[in-house]
Amino acid sequence: MVDEKAIQVAQEKFGALVRRQLERVENLKAEEGPVDYSKLDKLIIGVCGGDGIGPYICASAQKVMEFLLADKIAAGKVEIRQIDGLTIERRAEVMKAIPDDTLAELKKCHVILKGPTTTPAKGDPWPNIESANVAMRKELDLFANVRPVSVPELGIDWTFFRENTEGSYALGSDGFFVTDDLAMDFCVATHQGTERIIRAGFEHAKKTGKNYVSIIVKANIIKTTDGLFVDLADKIAKDYPEVKHDVWFVDITTAKLIDPARRSDFKVFVLPNLYGDIITDEAAQIQGGVGTAGSANIGNRYAMFEAIHGSAPRMVTEGRAQYADPCSMIKAVALMMNHIGESEKGRKLEMALDICTQFEKKLVMTGRSTGATGDEFAQYVLDTIQRPDLEKVWQGYVDEAIAKAKN
């Protein structure tokens, strides 16, 4: 017999979820345009270490960031603030993904550099609180997760635009058991949220000359929310006649990213939240691993830059945290430079990282005492970026790698 009372309770819960999302739609309709950083009297950058290895690799990346912005800091044009409160212990204590006082401090910043945070999983000793990443993206409306992946010798120059505030993650902590036998989770897509991420991808393609956008969905099965992605992409594409676009199903996309005959054709990807999370990790592995890739989370008012990997608590308990690889966090600093109008500094940092991690490799990160510490590696990057022949050396390595790949 069907449990009518359970259905009634589920209807009430679902109704509350729908109400919240409709309220959010109204807020999206009223949102303002992006901040113009060039018009700010002072740019405020918040630094949050996070959990596990986060404070270690964040400190190494901050060292690089402060070097690049030294002139602006000295002139009072940039202020860096340390923001605590994102440890799992503190979040569990207040039973919130982000403590209220920490969120208030974050909202006083324009840009945030954030270390990895721990998200409790089933079986962990921590309570079932929402991911700090997901919460921050929603609270600060960081709707675009932007991840570049570059492997010149393989002809790979990809940029991923992952929708960050909707999809299967938006209500990830709001699913429920209707009965002991039936569990339900939810996927959310709004016209406004979908349109702005697709338009961001097309704008990037137009601005950079990467005139090819691939929309990644599973719309043959997930017909409503993924179908909205396809319909809006077709509509928005008419505003960008110089940009080619097509639609790929997520499963075949995962295969084509490792297909040498196809993968160099791709340029810009636009994806719903869940697919973007999975595929960008695959792409990072092709580049050299998730430890090599940074992530930008962009909204109109705020932006947050982070590593894409986890907090690796085992490295801390084993006394190896100082050997954690800071490359992903330093890559995030490069993305930050590009976002705040310091694109030349960002470009030089990316070249220095390529030299240090892919070509020269004078220091190697192993995660143990057999390799360099994070601080030693950060200094290696700083020494490299100051080389007067940086661009010439980088181009020489790239040309050599391309020649080897062709042979």
266 and 361 part of one domain: no
Is 24 a member of any domain?
no
337 and 275 part of one domain: no
Is 12 a member of any domain?
no
Q: Does the pLDDT at position 120 exceed 90?
A: no
pLDDT of residue 185: 92
377 and 315 part of one domain: yes
**CB contact set of 81 (below 8 Å; sequence gap of 6+):** 44, 45, 46, 47, 105, 108, 109
Is 10 a member of any domain?
no
The overall average pLDDT reported for the chain is 93
pLDDT of residue 239: 97
pLDDT of residue 291: 66
Interval 376-388: pLDDT, tens: 999 999 999 999 9
pLDDT of residue 309: 85
Q: Of 224, 258, 293, which residue is a domain's last?
A: 293
Q: Does the pLDDT at position 122 exceed 80?
A: no
169 and 207 part of one domain: yes
Q: What is the pTM of this model?
A: 0.85
Q: Does the pLDDT at position 252 exceed 80?
A: yes
Sheet holding 144-151, edge to edge: 78-82, 43-48, 111-114, 303-307, 294-298, 144-151, 156-163, 268-271, 212-217, 244-249
81 and 125 part of one domain: yes
134 and 160 part of one domain: no
Residue 120's DSSP bridge partners are: none
Domain with 340 in it:
39-142+299-407
pLDDT of residue 37: 87
**Tokens, residue 31:** 């949102």
Is 20 a member of any domain?
no
Which of 222, 220, 137, 126 has its CA nearest to residue 172?
A: 137
Q: Of 258, 278, 293, which residue is a domain's last?
A: 293
Is 4 a member of any domain?
no
Is 263 a member of any domain?
yes
190 and 133 part of one domain: no
Q: Does the pLDDT at position 148 exceed 80?
A: yes
Mean pLDDT of 324-330: 94
60 and 82 part of one domain: yes
232 and 308 part of one domain: no
84 and 210 part of one domain: no
pLDDT of residue 289: 74
**CB contact set of 132 (below 8 Å; sequence gap of 6+):** 50, 86, 91, 97, 98, 117, 119
Query: Rounded distance, CA 255 to CA 261, Å?
Result: 11
Q: For residue 384, what is the domain's CATH number?
A: 3.40.718.10
**Tokens, residue 37:** 């950083």
Confidence of residue 38 (pLDDT cuts 50, 70, 90): confident
260 and 386 part of one domain: no
Query: Rounded distance, CA 157 to CA 151, Å?
Result: 7
136 and 149 part of one domain: no
**CB contact set of 295 (below 8 Å; sequence gap of 6+):** 145, 146, 147, 280, 305, 306, 307, 308, 328, 332, 335
- Domain count for the chain: 2
Is 15 a member of any domain?
no
Q: Does the pLDDT at position 156 exceed 70?
A: yes
**Tokens, residue 305:** 């830059």
- 65: number of Cβ within 10 Å: 27
Q: Of 262, 293, 324, which residue is a domain's last?
A: 293
Is 27 a member of any domain?
no
